[in-house]
Each structure stands twice: as C-alpha cells, then as structure tokens.
Amino acid sequence: MWCSSGRFHRHRHHHYGHGHGHHSHGHHNHDHGQGHGHGQDSHNNHDQDDDHRYDGHGQLDHVISGYDVMVSKDGRGNYTRVSEAIENAPNMSLTFYNIYIKEGTYEDNLYIHRTKTNIRLFGDGAHRTIIFGNRTNNETNGPTIEIHGERFQAANMSFVNDAGLTAGQANAVRNVANNTIFYGCSIEGYQDTLYAVRGSQRYENCEIYGTVDFIYGNAAATFLDCEIYARHRGIVTYTAQGRECPIDRSGFLFQRCNFTMSPADYGRKSDVKATFGRPWRAYSLVLIIESYIDSMVDRIGWLEFPDQPTDKLTYVKYGNVGPGSNTDGRVKWPGVKAFHHLPELLLFLSEDYPWISLSHNITWNLN
C-alpha cells in the first residue's frame, strides 16, 4: 500500500517529582480516569532495565559503568571535541561504545553516521554537559545532533539549538535511527526542536523546549516522565506528528508528562495560547496519558495543518489533570477521543492500534 498525503513540506506546570530542580506549581481538575503522580526519584524503578536496554525501552542511569573514551575541554581527556570522539568510534559495533563528555559547553554539530551503531554519549548532567549549535535547517549540518546509527543512546546532557525565536526551522535533535534512547537530557530549541523522523525512539526524564511544531516526525516515539516546555510566543504548537498511512506503526505517546511553560517564561504564561499540535500528515497519531496540562493550553486542544485533512487522525487523551485538561470545547474532529476508563482505552488500542501496549509504562510493540 502506498500512501501520500501531500508534499513533504513544512514551512513539567505540574511536577510529578522528575528531579529537574524546578518548583512544583500544584495540580487539580482531573479530566478523565486516574491522574497518576509519580513522586519516586528518577533513579528508582529500573529492575527491568537489563532486559530492555537493547530494544529502545530501557533506562540508562545505572547501565553505564565505565567509558571507552573521555571528552574534556581542558585537554585531560582523549578528545576535546565530541565530534572527534564519534568519528573515531568503531564502525558497526555490536556492543555499546561509551563516550563520556565532561561538564562544559561544546560548540559542535554532531553527526552519527549509520555505520556508527551502539554509540552512547553521557555527560555530567543536563545543563552541565551541553552540546551547543545555532544553525537553521537550511544550513549545512544544521541540527545540533543528527542520528542515523541504530541503538544510539544519550544520557545526562543537553542538546541546544539557539538559532532563535525568528530563525525558522532549526533542529536541536534530528533522530533518524531505530531503537534510540534519550534519558535525563535537555533538548532545547524554538521551531522544530526535535525531529523524530522514524523508528522506535524513547525519551525518558527529559526536558524538551520549543515554540512551533517542536516535536514532530513519523517515529514511534514514547515520551515518559518528560517536561514539555513551551517558550514564550503568541501561538505555540507542541507537536506535528506525521503518520502518513493507516498501516504505519508510528505515533507519539506521552505518559506522565507536563505540558507547561519553560521556567524562564512561566511568568508570561498568560501571553501564550498553546495547543497540543496539528496533523502534519493525514493519519497523525498522538496519545497523551496521565499528564499535567497547564492553563495556557487552549480549550480547542488542536489546530489544523494547511492542506491536511482532519478526518483520519487520532488524538487520544486519558487520565490527565491540570487547568488545561478539561476536554469541554475541544475540536469536534472524529478522531479526537477522551477516555474515562482504562478498559475502554485498552480495548480501543487493542482493536485499532495493536502495536501499542499499555502497562505500567507504555511501550511500542513493533514486532
């Protein structure tokens, strides 16, 4: 089956204890089902990691026991530039190649070639180890990091594209690889911050900042315990999911996330009208589960995308809380669904989207 839905053209705040160091803003107003807080520390609950770390569904905080090379700005490591460490990593590795990046800001644009499999980058913490770029998508090597090597992992570091509010499309992360994990990372930009192109991708305990369509693409991407931060702009769209075909096993899944304003812009929240997103392609699929929705999210919930239909998409909500979680006033598109009871949601997923399995943590079943 071949699907085409137009030219390939694009022009945390309720905190559940994520440990990112920001203050809680409280929560109330359950919309549907159970709103499950998770006050446990982000480094607990990982007894299943070793069973899953190769398939894109593991966590990273305790599986990194050492490193193969170190990158340090002071010259005390093996390299001073992260790109050099990646270029010299083994090709088609069957085991993880661990690159430890010491604290500092590295002005570098990273490219993980498809032959660089099992690359793992880890730093001294988000906002301490920072990969910094400021190029737009129209420039050579525009993304701060572009990933083509399967089973890539990154932990405890930031990827920043500071091209600016008016620069247009400017990826901080362009992820084209399968079975990738970001854990404890900060992904920062404005328009089109994170391009989740395809494959199975997982983002856990991460912060993602942006303004327009800032999480977009056609990956099967799971966002678990993440802060989805809108930056100050009159109109903000969180997502632009690009599922093109009814047989595509793709979509965006957000569980226990916070849709809110960035800490720096929180005082200007009333200036912003945000929506969860808009359908980049006809069969766009987004699920928002057990998450906090802040007050600047407009009651309509979703916006149209130019030249794209609204009768084939699927946008699902269940168990969300917060002042923006009330589903009264949502757009009346046939695929916009709010579930009140977990069994109803499970039945719906099993019948229409069998590659999504809902358990304690939702995972994508792409087999």
Catalytic residues: 192, 213
Query: Cα-flanking dihedrals φ and ψ of residue 291, to 5°?
Result: -120, 165
Contact at 8 Å (CB) between 86 and 98?
Answer: no
Contact at 8 Å (CB) between 287 and 252?
Answer: yes
- How far is it, in rounded angstroms, from Cα 115 to Cα 174? 17
Kindly write down the DSSP assignment for every residue of 251-318, as one continuous string.
EEEEES-EEEE-GGGGGGGGG-EEEEE--SSTT-EEEEES-EE-TTB-TT-B---TT--SSS-EEEEE
Kindly write down the DSSP assignment for every residue of 27-79, as one continuous string.
-----SS------S-TT---TTHHHHTTTT----TTT----SEEE-TTS-SSB
Per DSSP, the three-state class of 363 is strand
- How far is it, in rounded angstroms, from Cα 228 to Cα 206? 8
- Strands 363-364 and 356-357 turn out to be antiparallel
262-127-131 Cα angle (round to 5)? 110
Q: Which residues of 121-139 are buried (b: 16+ CB within 10 A; e: fewer)?
A: bbbebbbbbbbbbbbbbee
In this structure, the chain runs to a length of 367
Query: Cα-flanking dihedrals φ and ψ of residue 175, to 5°?
Result: -110, 110
